[in-house]
A and B are shown apart, each in its own frame.
Chain A
Amino acid sequence: MNNKIKSLHLGIAILAFTIICPMFASAQVPPRFYWKSLAGGQAVPVIFQSLNANANPLDPSSFIPSDAQVEANVATVGYAIMLPMFDRTLTLAILEPMGRVSGTTTIAGKSYNEDATGFGDPTLEVGYNLIGPKAIKNIPDMLRYEPKFSLDLIVDIAFPIGEYDNDQSLNLGQNRWYGRVGAPIVWQIGPWVPGRRTTLELFPSVWFYSDNTDFVGQTLSTDPLFHLEAHLTRDITEHFWASFDTTWKAGGKASLDGVEGSSLNTLAVGITLGYQINDNLSLTAGYMTTVNDSDPGDMQMDAFRISFTYGWHPMVQGMNRLKSE
């Protein structure tokens, strides 16, 4: 029985470390990320996240000790390109997380410390616009762009090639395939005039995970996780905007060799401020924290995020050169 409890506690501790990993490995993108740009336009986003959690943010089961501490400092670098396909916008993106993560928890009087550094699993994202403006194929299209009601279908798939140590539960790589299917929505509210733009952005998605069969000698399974992001964004000036953010996660119950955690029901809110520094570079800074975390067993998590996105298009670059002449 003691062995069983010990085993259970160990499993819970492992879960406390591991299930958080998808959270930062699959870095959330900032609001306004799914606005469309000129076909052929390319962008490099760099997203820094610093995250703290006192418990497993995905599995706030009541029997999990509340003293687990996970800290992660992760940067996600990506590349994205927009292309026209059948007159609609196709977006291809790849995101590569990297950084360090460390965690501590005490189970049955024993302290567990782990840390990991390096590269995480790269994620390929394919997005296709189903409803909304047609592909922006030239500058007149770009000048006329208004999202009105825009809905994309996106598919993410993470390749299990990131740093992984099967002797510890805390890794940047996941050693399993996972990904999601989602439908980001941008809903324009009111005029599309810089300085006055307002959007409601919803991003429902479902994450799917394969099993990790080499997880500290055990098999980690995770149920599908429903994830809903919502952003109410509003221009403050022509180049400066703010967003009220909320995210809700449900499901995603993990089990380790049959030892089950609990399904998630985590609600977090936050704000993001964005600034368009120039035609090429934009900046966002945001903070998010859990709100349904008052009970001892609830997950508490907060995260800071700063992102830079550098975008370019030969036509825009050419126009800028002409302006300078």
Chain B
Amino acid sequence: MKSTHILTALSLPLCATTGFSQAVEMKQEPKSQRPNIVIILGDDLGYSDLGCFGGEIKTPNFDALAKEGVRFNQFYTSASSSPTRSMLLSGVDTHLNGMGNMSEMTAPNQMGVPGYEGYLNNRVTTLPQLLKDAGYHTYMAGKWHMGKQPDQIPAARGFERDFALLDGAGSYWDMMNFSANTPKSTFTEDGRYLKSLPKNYYATKTYTDKMIGYIEANRADGKPFFAYMSHQAPHDPYHLPREWRNRHVGEYDKGWDVVRQERLQRQIEMGLVPKGTELAERMWFIPQASLLAPATKMIMGKKMELYAGLVENVDYHTGRLIDYLKKIGEYDNTIFIVFGDNGAEGTDLFAQIVGSAGTANYLFAAIAWSQTHPNAWGDPQSYVGYGPMWAQVSMTPFSQYKGNLAEGGIHNCLIVKGPVVKRPAGSINGGFMHVADIMPTLLEVAGASYPKTVNGQEPPPLIGKSWVKMLAGEEESPRSGQDYMAWEIFGNRAVRQGDWKLIWQYKPFGTGDWQLFNLATDLSERHDLATQQPEKVKSLVALWDKYVQDNKVILPDRVIWEQQEKRLPDRYPVVDGFPPLISQKQFIPPANMMADPKP
């Protein structure tokens, strides 16, 4: 207890320099008991993309981590980028930590309301800050997306070294961004805003180089490190070096329906999903791939080829980081946490930003993003996203994708490997887990604790549960059957308790009413049980109401879904092969009944 007080006192001046006055309790432990931490975050990475989660994409380095560690098949994030990141680094619900909505989507009635600042607010502290105070080096490379002002950037939120893209996305090759009003991405390096990017910049490579450099620069002092590899990839635009673009030529011409089936089959064989799991219904506005013309299949398939190359490129650079850690002898003492920040991206972000002809953004896109030919895809100034059809593939077997609260928006892959993992190597765990759990888990691992005050005020509570016991094999899940999780983003809402999930989404992705699914038997959310289970609906709505109250949720009065129902075709159940007219095969009569015409 005495040593704790001493360290707390020592930590105070450091906290003061960063504008925080939190009290950090730290247990002093020998270095060998304090593992390094590497978080590898894939931006819009799909649940089934990695090889170890059923993907055909070649990810040997991630697969190796999975083989030595544990895969988790019940891991949840937010349905969108910055909200997930905010919970990862604060452990606090988005509606309290400043990311109640994405800054790009804040509704009029949320403007100026605490919890909806659009950046990680100063009522919360951060994981890197607490780890730094606990004696860790804290490094970040990659996408930040939680504020651009000097007091909001990585250096101000606990990172000792950083090379960060502050925007939500942008070119992988340069500082080009998407709109006339925001033509340039903003980057920081070690707390300074960059005027230009390093020579030979390519996002994934440069981020990895920087991270290795940070670790190398300080490794002599023997302190453990926290490395946040927040990759921009595989978020669109799919920019990647030429040598990574042609690794799957023609492989996806078979279409999304086939690839989804293949992934599901592998997932069943791996034990990631139960036997008998159905694929979610193909989105009603996506065509049956087998009916498409070869040229269309090829062009659509090429988008997925690029995406696969992008994921493989991330895997390759992850391999570089792993090799480096092995080389310096730190690999075995490092916890790796690998996951995607939300569902795969099925929305045409570029079209949303560009708008229509005659606008400044449209003109900007025509000039700055002019490389539209398929052979230029991947180059600077090209913009390719793979669309909802492949996003559903990435989210096999789930329904929908990023931005939505169906499983395809929030259910993601997770690999944990490292000295705290005592579960069988290569095993799969079905614990009920959330991105906000990472903060309490890592605080426990590092011997730190959540402060009682931040800037003189009591901080919002952590919503996560530590995984330490679960990783040690002492329990199967950090949550009991009575624990629940809830989500609200863009006005859509969901709550899950045990096997039951209640979801309300705007039409046409939802019904504009509560739907109820039993995920134990219906992982793909095909069978709405709301009318059959009114009591269950009632009890989950009560939990939702509690969530709203506890977290000061303000439902937005304007949402991105407003025009969706008009823009998309009417929704009918999707039945492949209906009507038979469009997919009937040529009739071939019995050979012995064929005859020439009579004279």
Nearest A residue to B375 via CB reads: A193
Nearest A residue to B374 via CB reads: A143
Report the bound CA distance from A191 to B299 in whole Å: 18
Task: Quote the shortest CB–CB distance from A87 to chain B (angstroms).
Answer: 14
> Across the interface, do B295 and A139 meet the contact criterion of CB distance under 8 Å?
yes
> Residues of A contacting B295 with CB < 8 Å?
139-140, 143, 319
Nearest B residue to A146 via CB reads: B375
Q: Mark A187-225, 1 if CB is under 8 A from B, else 0.
A: 000011111100000000000000000000000000000
Report the bound CA distance from A113 to B253 in whole Å: 66
> Across the interface, do B298 and A191 meet the contact criterion of CB distance under 8 Å?
no
Residue A144 interfacial (CB < 8 Å): yes
Task: Quote the shortest CB–CB distance from B224 to chain A (angstroms).
Answer: 45
Report the bound CA distance from A143 to B376 in whole Å: 12
Query: Which of A140, A146, A191 neighbours the largest number of chain B CB atoms within 10 Å of its CB?
Result: A140
Residue A138 interfacial (CB < 8 Å): yes
Report the bound CA distance from A105 to B297 in whole Å: 65
Within 8 A of B (CB), among A115-154: 138-140, 143-144, 146
A191-B379, A193-B376 given; A139·B371 CB < 8 A:
no
Partner of A143, one of B242, B298, B379: B298
> Across the interface, do A140 and B253 meet the contact criterion of CB distance under 8 Å?
yes
Q: Mark B485-523, 1 if CB is under 8 A from A, else 0.
A: 000000000000000000000000000000000000000
Partner of A144, one of B242, B249, B371: B249
Residue B424 interfacial (CB < 8 Å): no
Report the bound CA distance from A194 to B242 in whole Å: 16
Report the bound CA distance from A143 to B373 in whole Å: 10
> Residues of A contacting B577 with CB < 8 Å?
none
Task: Quote the shortest CB–CB distance from A279 to chain B (angstroms).
Answer: 14
> Residues of A contacting B294 with CB < 8 Å?
138-140
Report the bound CA distance from A139 to B301 in whole Å: 14
Task: Quote the shortest CB–CB distance from A325 to chain B (angstroms).
Answer: 14
> Across the interface, do A192 and B375 meet the contact criterion of CB distance under 8 Å?
yes
Report the bound CA distance from A191 to B298 in whole Å: 19
Report the bound CA distance from A195 to B376 in whole Å: 10
> Across the interface, do A195 and B299 meet the contact criterion of CB distance under 8 Å?
no
Interface residues on B, range: 10 to 19
Within 8 A of B (CB), among A80-122: none
Residue B461 interfacial (CB < 8 Å): no
Residue B150 interfacial (CB < 8 Å): no
> Across the interface, do A193 and B371 meet the contact criterion of CB distance under 8 Å?
yes
Q: Mark B374-396, 1 if CB is under 8 A from A, else 0.
A: 11100100000000000000000
A140-B250, A140-B253, A144-B249 given; A191·B297 CB < 8 A:
no
Report the bound CA distance from A319 to B341 in whole Å: 41
> Residues of A contacting B242 with CB < 8 Å?
191
Report the bound CA distance from A124 to B295 in whole Å: 34
> Across the interface, do A193 and B298 meet the contact criterion of CB distance under 8 Å?
no
> Residues of B contacting A194 with CB < 8 Å?
373, 375
Task: Quote the shortest CB–CB distance from A143 to chain B (angstroms).
Answer: 6
Within 8 A of A (CB), among B292-316: 293-295, 297-299
Q: Mark B411-433, 1 if CB is under 8 A from A, else 0.
A: 00000000000000000000000
> Across the interface, do B253 and A193 meet the contact criterion of CB distance under 8 Å?
no
Task: Quote the shortest CB–CB distance from B382 to chain A (angstroms).
Answer: 9
Name the prevailing secondary structure of the A interface residues.
loop
Partner of B298, one of A144, A146, A195, A238: A144
Report the bound CA distance from A138 to B250 in whole Å: 12
Report the bound CA distance from A192 to B246 in whole Å: 13
> Residues of B contacting A140 with CB < 8 Å?
250, 253, 294-295, 297-298
Report the bound CA distance from A195 to B374 in whole Å: 12
Task: Quote the shortest CB–CB distance from B220 to chain A (angstroms).
Answer: 44
Report the bound CA distance from A196 to B370 in whole Å: 13
Within 8 A of B (CB), among A6-40: none
> Across the interface, do A191 and B375 meet the contact criterion of CB distance under 8 Å?
yes
Query: Which of B242, B293, B375, B379 neighbours the largest number of chain A CB atoms within 10 Å of its CB?
Result: B375
Partner of B373, one of A138, A146, A193, A319: A193
Q: Mark B231-266, 1 if CB is under 8 A from A, else 0.
A: 000000000001000000110010000000000000
Q: Mark A269-298, 1 if CB is under 8 A from B, else 0.
A: 000000000000000000000000000000
> Residues of B contacting A319 with CB < 8 Å?
295
> Residues of B contacting A192 with CB < 8 Å?
375
Report the bound CA distance from A151 to B323 in whole Å: 41
> Residues of B contacting A143 with CB < 8 Å?
295, 298-299, 374
Report the bound CA distance from A251 to B249 in whole Å: 46
Task: Quote the shortest CB–CB distance from A313 to chain B (angstroms).
Answer: 13
Task: Quote the shortest CB–CB distance from A318 to chain B (angstroms).
Answer: 10
Report the bound CA distance from A191 to B377 in whole Å: 11
> Residues of B contacting A139 with CB < 8 Å?
293-295, 298
Report the bound CA distance from A193 to B379 in whole Å: 10
> Residues of A contacting B376 with CB < 8 Å?
191, 193, 196
Task: Quote the shortest CB–CB distance from A14 to chain B (angstroms).
Answer: 53
Nearest B residue to A197 via CB reads: B375
Nearest B residue to A322 via CB reads: B293
Report the bound CA distance from A200 to B163 in whole Å: 41
Task: Quote the shortest CB–CB distance from B164 to chain A (angstroms).
Answer: 30
A140-B297, A140-B298, A144-B298 given; A195·B373 CB < 8 A:
yes
Nearest B residue to A141 via CB reads: B298
Report the bound CA distance from A238 to B371 in whole Å: 11
> Residues of B contacting A146 with CB < 8 Å?
375
Report the bound CA distance from A238 to B374 in whole Å: 13
> Residues of A contacting B249 with CB < 8 Å?
144
Report the bound CA distance from A196 to B250 in whole Å: 24
Q: Mark B350-380, 1 if CB is under 8 A from A, else 0.
A: 0000000000000000000001011110010
> Residues of A contacting B250 with CB < 8 Å?
140, 144
Nearest A residue to B297 via CB reads: A140
Report the bound CA distance from A86 to B379 in whole Å: 34
Report the bound CA distance from A146 to B253 in whole Å: 18
Report the bound CA distance from A146 to B245 in whole Å: 14
Report the bound CA distance from A192 to B378 in whole Å: 12
Report the bound CA distance from A146 to B297 in whole Å: 19
Q: Mark B265-297, 1 if CB is under 8 A from A, else 0.
A: 000000000000000000000000000011101
Task: Quote the shortest CB–CB distance from A208 to chain B (angstroms).
Answer: 40
Ordered by A's residue number, 18 sampled pairs between the chains whose C-beta atoms are within 8 Å are A138-B294, A139-B294, A139-B295, A139-B298, A140-B295, A143-B295, A144-B249, A146-B375, A191-B242, A191-B375, A191-B379, A193-B376, A193-B379, A194-B373, A195-B373, A196-B376, A238-B373, A319-B295
Beyond A193-B371, A196-B376, A238-B373, 18 extra complex contacts between A and B, CB < 8 Å: A138-B294, A139-B294, A139-B298, A140-B253, A140-B294, A140-B297, A143-B298, A143-B374, A144-B249, A144-B250, A144-B298, A146-B375, A191-B376, A191-B379, A192-B375, A193-B376, A194-B373, A195-B373
Interface pairs A-B: 6 shortest CB-CB:
A140-B298, A139-B295, A193-B376, A193-B375, A192-B375, A140-B294
